[in-house]
Amino acid sequence: MGYEETYQSKLVSAEKAAEVVKSGDWVDYGWAVTTPVAFDAALAPRVANLEGVNFRGGILPWVPEIFKIDAPEDHFTWNSWHMSGIERKATGAGYGFYSPLRYSELPRWYRESPDHLNVAAFQVTPMDSDGYFNFGPSASHFEAVCEMADVIIVEVNEKMPRVFGRDGEDGDVKIHVDKVDMIIEGPNPDIAQIGGATAPTDVDIAVANLVVPEIPNGACLQLGIGGMPNTIGAEIAKSDLKDLGVHTEMYVDAFVDIAAEGKINGSKKTVLPGKQVFAFGAGTQKLYDYVNENPEVVTANVGWVNDVRTIAEIDNFISINNAVDIDLFGQVNAESSGIKAISGAGGQLDFVLGAYLSRGGKSFICMSSTFTTKDGEVKSRIRPTLTEGSIVTDTRTNTMFVVTEFGKVCLKGLTAWERAEGLINIAHPDFRDELIADAQKMGIWRRSNKI
């Protein structure tokens, strides 16, 4: 049987595919922009009559139809590997939960998990002439998911960009029609837009102007999620830097802009020179147009991309991420507000560690010095200790550069009192005296250090 005949034999309606999900099943729901659309719409009325279904996914860019049924908590649990704002609301409503795990561990976790994976459903590109469906901009952990799932359902989207693997043939970027159980021809929705052009704040620009001078020519870049890393990317695009490389967890619009200015060629990279490497991508249409069949761009499984050992092999690795807050000991929280989950661990610690180990590497934790609560109260992001219940994303032994609009400090190798002094120096001036008093109470302040 030829590939096209095999394709036709597995082609089913979304409603037919949804029938495979039973009470008590574990269902993998793709990742970010590859989350299923037609399958989700067909499954919603069915799941309303089931119990104990467990879904896994992450970075939801839209509200799934299954979330819209009456009393979803009575029928399923959403288990997120990394939460978007939509998933935070699900958590608040009692049917969503975060699964703490370093993102780099996902492929291995799926292969070793005691939880049986019953169904996997996600969007893919149309089948190519060799019978393969491409995972689009989300190689991520899909190869491992497909190895472990009892039933694999692919939802074809003609608008999904096709992205190459490390050598053009890697299995971690595609799946063959022979290994697929059901094929849905979806409504071909536009790929979800995440991020986009928002005007940077004065704080974002001030932080960017402190970070960019620390980046050497030939550096390899990783940018985290959020407005501040993207603003830094925009400033890099306007800078005189050259011969830059990319090796990042998430590929965002800023990289497209930097490449458009001719600053990225990967010529100095010590791992996959000449290639921009990422685990998954999400942005605006210009990103999807840029990565589509672009030989300079590579997506690969996150177990390799985010591996500290991979990152450490890349010279002059520059990791740029943001955070919720940091304490005077140098502990970084990038994923919660007290006990309230905001996002997830992702790969931040992997890249902080990788940059720490890279020859010439630097990691930057960037944040505004203050934030304003819903009640209008201004609070410092630099705190004496993290809020009770807050998660330590990056331990104090791994934190390097910390940057606010008031300055930057490299904590690597500093003693406790030097860290406290350095962090207080870049805190908002309105909070410095209070922080000094707190540091004195905690025994990490020297009298001669008072600013």
Beta bridge mates, 371: 379
DSSP state of 250: E
- Closest by CA to 162, choosing from 265, 276, 297, is 297
Amino acid occupying residue 335: E
Beta bridge mates, 298: 164, 277
DSSP state of 413: T
Q: Is the distance from CB of 434 to CB of 450 less than 8 angstroms?
A: no
Rg of the chain, C-alpha, whole Å: 23
Q: CA 269, 193, 183, 24 torsion: positive or negative?
A: positive
Q: Is the distance from CB of 267 to CB of 290 less than 8 angstroms?
A: no
The region, left, alpha or beta by phi > 0 then psi within -120 to 50, assigned to residue 175 is beta
In degrees, rounded to 5, the angle at the alpha carbon of residue 370 between the alpha carbons of residues 369 and 374 is 160
- The catalytic residue positions are 249
State in Å, rounded, how far the first CA of the chain is from the last one. 78
Distance CA 266, CA 413 (A): 31
CA atoms within 13 A on the CB side of 396: 16
Amino acid occupying residue 230: N
- Write a three-state SS string for 352-372: HHHHHHCCCCEEEEECCCEEE
SS3 120: strand
